Structure 1
Amino acid sequence: MAGGPCKNGDDDDKCGNGDCPTVYATPKPGMLAIQGYDVAHPVPDGESVVVIPEEILKEAARVRGWL
């Protein structure tokens, strides 16, 4: 898991509701799960497009040893 503590009350709060965007490892090799903000974009059933701060993806890469 990569992400970080929410900064509740901060003017730059990217979490809004205290539940931060996060990148999670999954049991499937090479697959990550992304928790983020919903966006209005048509996708097939069972799929979602989410927006996350780029810092979250960079931290995920660092934690997994890719950087």
Structure 2
Amino acid sequence: MKVTKLISICDLKDCPTIYATDRGTLLVQGETPPDHGLRIPAHETLVEIPVELIRKAIADGLV
């Protein structure tokens, strides 16, 4: 899979980031919230990202 960085809210490696893939999908990098209380299937996960990341992606015309 080819992954392209679309948007991040900082210049470091370990920051919330949105990536595009050559499959026509998005990958989201963020923190795994330990206290969400949801039932998530074993093959899925949740990540938490700041709303500001989505706002920046929209403002930059990426979504």
**Structural RMSD (CA):** 2.2
> Identity percentage over the alignment?
31
* TM-score under structure 2 length normalisation: 0.65
Deviating beyond 6 angstroms after TM superposition, the runs of 4 or more aligned structure 1 residues are none
- SS of 2:8 mapped into structure 1: coil
* TM-score under structure 1 length normalisation: 0.62
Identify the structure with the greater strand proportion. 2
Which blocks of at least 5 consecutive residues in structure 2 are unaligned?
A: 1-5
Q: In the TM superposition, what whole-angstrom CA distance separates every residue of 1:10-44 from its partner, at most 9, and x where no partner exists?
A: xxxxxxxx611111111122x21110110234311
Which blocks of at least 5 consecutive residues in structure 1 are unaligned?
A: 8-17
The reply on whether 1:28 has 2:23 as its aligned counterpart is yes
